[in-house]
Amino acid sequence: MKSLLSTGVAGMLLLCPSLLCAQTTAKATVSAKVEKAGDKTPPKATTEKASPEPIATVDGQAITEEELMTAAQGQLRSLRDQEYQIKRQALDNLISQKILEAEAKKKGVTTDKLLEQEVDAKVPEATDAELRAVYAVQRDKFGKPFEESKIQLQSTLKNARIQQARQEYTTHLREQAKVAVLLSPPRVQVAADPARLRGNPNARVMIVEFSDFQCPYCRQAEATVKNVLAKHEGVVALSYRDLPLTSLHPMAMGAAEAGRCAGEQGKFWELHDAMFADQAGLDHNGLVAKATKLGLDQKQFEACLTGEKYKTQIQQDSQEANRFGINGTPAFFINGVFLNGAQPEAVFEKAIKDELETVADHHSSSGSPKS
C-alpha cells in the first residue's frame, strides 16, 4: 500500500499543517486535478535544497533558526541541564517509592509500617557523650545550658539518624532490585583534542576538560582526574582544552601557550603537570626553566612562546567554551554530559558508571558484543 504521505493533496496537508503552507497546498491541488484529467507527464525531479525559513530579517538579510540556536546554545544547555536534574531527582524519588511499595507488599504491611519496623526501630538513641559532643559544636545555636537543650538535641539527632538510615535502606533495596534508568542527560558534541590526550583515544568514556593553568580549582581537580584515569585505565581518557581566564589570571595565557609549545616536542603532559605543581612560577622565566628541566630544546621553546604561535588556537578553544555557556574553570564534558567545577571523585565515578552502563545498554540493544 502506498504511504499516505506519497499521495497528492493528502500528503501535502500532512506535511504542511499550518496556514503558512496554504499557497503550496493550493498549487498541489491544481497539479492533482491536472494529473487526474489525463496529464501523464512526469514531474521534473529537483535536487535543490529548500532554504530554511527566516525567523527575522534585518534590512532584508535573514536570520535563521540555526543561527539562533548557535547563539543561544550556551544558555539553552544550562536550562536543559537544570531540567534534567529536576527530572532525575523526581525519577529517583519515584523509583524509591516503587521499591518500598514492592517490599512492603511482600511483607504484607504498609510502606510507613515497613520503614518503622525495618529502619526506625533499629536506630539507637544517642548517648549522653554524643549529645554533649554535638552540643559543644553548636552551643551558640542553642543559647542555653546543655541540660535544658538535651531533649531538643536528642530529638533532632534521632530524626537525622532515621533519615540517614532510611536512605541507606532504600539504597540497599535498590541495589537488589532490577532498575534500569532510561532517562538520558542532555549532551553536547564536544571535540577532543587528539594532540593533548591522556589515555586510550578509543576509550568508551572521553572526558574533555576546559581548564586554566593558573586556576586553583583546576589544580585541585587534577589529582581527582588522575585518580579516576588510574582506576579506569584503558576505559576512560582525558582531553585537555584551553580556557585561560585572563581577567583573573594574568599568567594563564602564557601558560596555555607554553603547554602547546611543549606539545611540539612531545612533552605537553609533562609540562602540564609541572605547571599545575608550581602555579606561582608561570611567568616567562618560570616557564622556560620548567621546559629546560624537562629536557626541551630551550631555543625552540622560547621562540614558540614569545611568538604567540598558538594564540589563535587558544582563542578558538575559549570561544567554543563560551558557546557552550562555560564561564568558569574547570569544566568537564563526560561523553558530552556537562560536569561543572572541581567535583569530588565520587561525582566523577557516578558519571562514569552511568556512561559505562549506557554504552553497555547500547551494545546489548544493538546486538553488538560488550567490550
What does pTM read for this prediction? Answer: 0.69
Taking only the tens place, the pLDDT of each residue in 245-274 is 999 999 999 999 999 999 999 999 999 999
The overall average pLDDT reported for the chain is 85
Confidence class for position 10, pLDDT limits 50, 70, 90: very low
| pLDDT at 11 (0 to 100) | 39
The DSSP annotation for 233-270 comes to TTTEEEEEEE---TTT-TTHHHHHHHHHHHHHTT-HHH
Which domains does the chain possess? 1-41 (no CATH), 74-176 (no CATH), 194-366 (3.40.30.10)
**Does pLDDT of 329 surpass 60?**
yes
**What percentage of the chain has pLDDT greater than the value 70?**
83
User: Which of 227, 250, 252, 232 minimizes the C-alpha distance to 242?
Assistant: 252
User: Which of 193, 184, 124 minimizes the C-alpha distance to 154?
Assistant: 124
Would you state the cell numbers that stand for residue 126, as one nine-digit string? 544517642
Among the listed ranges 143-152, 226-235, 351-360, which one has the minimum average pLDDT value? 351-360
Taking only the tens place, the pLDDT of each residue in 56-88 is 999 999 999 888 887 887 788 889 989 999 999
**Does pLDDT of 309 surpass 70?**
yes
Confidence class for position 370, pLDDT limits 50, 70, 90: very low
Instruction: Identify which has the larger pLDDT, 31 or 148.
Output: 148
- Calculate mean pLDDT across residues 21-32: 38
**Does pLDDT of 231 surpass 80?**
yes
Taking only the tens place, the pLDDT of each residue in 171-228 is 999 999 988 888 889 998 999 999 999 999 999 999 999 999 999 999 999 999 999 9
Residues 334, 225: Cα–Cα separation, whole Å = 12
Cα of first residue to Cα of last residue in the chain, in angstroms, is: 42
CB-based contact 242:317 (threshold 8 Å):
yes
Taking only the tens place, the pLDDT of each residue in 112-126 is 999 999 999 999 999
Angle between helices 298-306 and 252-264 (to 10 degrees): 140
